[in-house]
Amino acid sequence: MTGPELLQHAGALVAMLDAPEGADVEAMSEALTAWLGQSEDKLTAYWAVVKRLDAEAQTLRDLEQTLARRRRYLDGQAERVKALASELLAAREALGEDPKVKAPMFTAWLATSKSIEVSVEAHELPAAYQRVRVEASKTALEKALEAGEIIDGVRIVERRGVRWR
């Protein structure tokens, strides 16, 4: 089988993962085993499947970014329209009218909310108003372990796996 044929067959296998009901692990395993049984070069066949899965994953990442940009845009537009509605209700209030409007589908009014605005750096605030987050420094831990230091609850874990270029 040629490279393009392998990628095409890998695409068919990946399509099983995209089934609306989800991947049937048993069917996927059987299909992969059968496909690999036909392949003379199993490592190349594995490479083709991984390549296709990586391409699908990248497509999904790109789509997620596009959807996130679209959501942020729509959220921004909704906030702008809410600001216009707030201005309209504030204008009614300034004219002496009730800033609460009842309509068949909704009721709108001016509500007051609070938020805290901090205009100084957190370290400039008194300690009682600071939040400290403690995390393990994996870089420092790795250096210490590599130098032979023994640290309870910490160890270096090595894994071996395939890499392709």
Chain segment 69-118, per-residue pLDDT in tens: 999 999 999 999 999 999 999 999 999 999 999 999 999 999 999 999 99
Angle, vertex CA 120, rays to CA 116 and CA 125, nearest 5: 85
Q: What is the pLDDT of residues 13-63, one digit of tens each?
A: 767 666 656 667 777 778 777 877 777 787 887 888 788 888 888 999 999
Beta bridge partners of 107: 102
**Are residues 34 and 76 in contact, defined by beta-carbon separation less than 8 angstroms?**
no
CA atoms of 31 and 11, how far apart (whole Å) = 12
| DSSP code at position 105 | S
76, containing H or E segment: helix 42-94
Q: What is the pTM of this model?
A: 0.64
